[in-house]
Amino acid sequence: MLPFEPAALIFDCDGTLADTMPAHYEAWVATMSRYGVPFEEDLFYDLGGWPTLQVAEHLLSRAKPRTPVTPEQIVVEKESLFEQSLTSIRPIDPVVEVARRHKDQLPMAVASGGLRRIVEAVLCHLEIAPWFRTIVTCEDVTQHKPQPDIYLEAARRLNVHPTLCLAFEDTDPGVQAAYAAGMQVIDVRSLYTPRRVTVAA
Domains and CATH numbers, the chain: 8-19+90-190 (3.40.50.1000), 21-86 (1.10.150)
Separation of CA 31 from chain center: 19
**pTM value?**
0.92
Listed residue (34, 44, 41) closest to 65, CA to CA:
34
Nearest to 53 by CA among 31, 29, 36, 78: 78
The residues carrying an active-site annotation are 12
Q: For residue 180, which of 170, 188, 172 has the smallest C-alpha distance?
A: 172
| pLDDT (average), residues 55-66 | 96
pLDDT of residue 199: 58
| Beta carbons of 170 and 136 less than 8 angstroms apart | no
Note the pLDDT tens digit of each residue in 68-93.
Answer: 999 999 999 999 999 999 999 999 99
pLDDT for the residue numbered 168: 98
CA atoms within 13 A on the CB side of 165: 31
